[in-house]
Amino acid sequence: MRNFDLTLCNPPMKRYTGFRLSIIVPCHNEAGNIDALYARLSPQIASFEDYELIFVDDGSTDSTAECIKKLSANDAHVRLLQLSRNFGHQHALKAGIDHAFGDCIVSLDADLQHPPELIPEMVDHWLKGYDVVTTLRKQTKGENFYKRLFSKLFYRLIHFLSDIDLPPGSADFRLIDRAVADEIRNMQESDIFLRGLVSWAGFKQVSISYEAAERYAGKSSYNFKKMMKLALAGITSFSIKPLRISVILGLVIAGLAFLYGIYILYIFLFTDKAIPGWASTTGCSSPLKDWTRLVKKNTNFEL
């Protein structure tokens, strides 16, 4: 259990002192959500003596950065980390972790589907000695059938193909200890899948469940292409099973092709069933064709 001071101020609200809390919010065209998120976050983090709120602007093309700058002008705890272009949600999260100074770091999305009200509970688990507090989404209000189906298929695939334990409904709404953050900083991954990295890194972990709300405003920029890219990164980054499957399929196809080549030679050399031009159009490899021509020349067999 970590030794930090918890005093009561206007019970039942706890007062968290003796450590710094970092909150990371990746943003991409979230101008309509910034003020609402800040309003929801403020009462939850008011009980923390030392904290920072880092908004990571992932190459937004709307007024997201301007909204964050207005907040920062009135609240010294608010920081803006502005990326030069849109690098993607996972890279924005990683950038926030790299620039956070907290003893524990919480990440959540800007669309208010991740409830800020869970942050004190997550910190309580951290104070009990857990290094990672993950969240599991029970369901999402307003989520369409195809997205639910894709999510179920993704978790089943990653459970079957990878070597990490990633429960269905895992989200990027989590708390990590400074030691976990340091390990993530040292990982030089090009295709980042943080849910997998955090699970793979180990440490003492606990999960809490929540029900995701509908998106507060705007439209998600996470399209099917980006979801597929994230899924592929998750599947290929933590297992060699896809590579093994590819090798086995390649060997099977090569073996079938070799057997078919022997069959072609047999028909060509030892039967009169071959149709003119048939052997040359079967897709045999060039060395095999040259070898059949050589046999034909020396044995006076006619096609």
Residue 286: Cβ-neighbour burial (10 angstroms; 0-12, 13-18, 19+): exposed
Give yes or no for residue 294 having a pLDDT over 50. Answer: no
State the CB neighbour count (10 A cutoff) for residue 43.
11
Query: Do 22 and 101 touch, CB atoms closer than 8 A?
Result: yes
> 206-217, pLDDT tens digit by residue?
988 888 888 877
Query: Do 210 and 136 touch, CB atoms closer than 8 A?
Result: yes
> 237-277, pLDDT tens digit by residue?
666 666 667 778 888 898 888 888 887 777 777 777 666 66
Instruction: Determine the average pLDDT of the residues in 269-291.
Output: 58
Q: What is the pLDDT of residue 184?
A: 87
Hey, what domains does the chain have and what are their CATH numbers?
6-239 (3.90.550.10), 243-299 (no CATH)
Distance CA 1, CA 15 (A): 17
Lowest mean pLDDT among 54-58, 231-235, 247-251: 231-235
Q: For the chain, what is the largest distance between any 2 Cα atoms, rounded to a whole number of angstroms?
A: 104
Give yes or no for residue 6 having a pLDDT over 80. Answer: no
Q: What is the pLDDT of residue 58?
A: 92
Give yes or no for residue 5 having a pLDDT over 60. Answer: no
Question: Would you give the DSSP letter of residue 214?
Answer: P
Q: What is the pLDDT of residue 10?
A: 39
> 126 falls in which pLDDT band (50, 70, 90)?
very high
